[in-house]
Amino acid sequence: MRPPPQIDGADVVLWAWSEPAPFFVMPYSDGSPGIPIHGLAICRYPKTGTIYKFSCNSEWETQNDSAWDTVESATSGESGQYDVRSVQWQAL
């Protein structure tokens, strides 16, 4: 499922989608069932140029984010939640 052109006010540069199984399930700290993460997006904020990787639910709503120095480091940076080498990034 293709993302919107912007997520959280940042322009989508690269994205990836995992269906039917999510990339991972983000647990809640209270122990309740977690949120399936189906979408990953590398985004750039237009005013600052800051790069973020967003973990999104099935509606492309951001559930978690992390800042990165470059788009390349965001795509290859290790994650404890999924295998980054298996992600098929696509340009928007």
The token pair at 87 is 């992600």
Structural domain boundaries in the chain: 6-69
Which residue positions in the chain have pLDDT lower than 50? none
pLDDT of residue 81: 85
Residues recorded for the chain: 92
pLDDT at residue 27, as a whole number: 87
pLDDT at residue 78 in the model: 83
- Burial label for 19, CB within 10 Å (0-12, 13-18, 19+), is exposed
Q: What was the pLDDT predicted at 85? A: 87
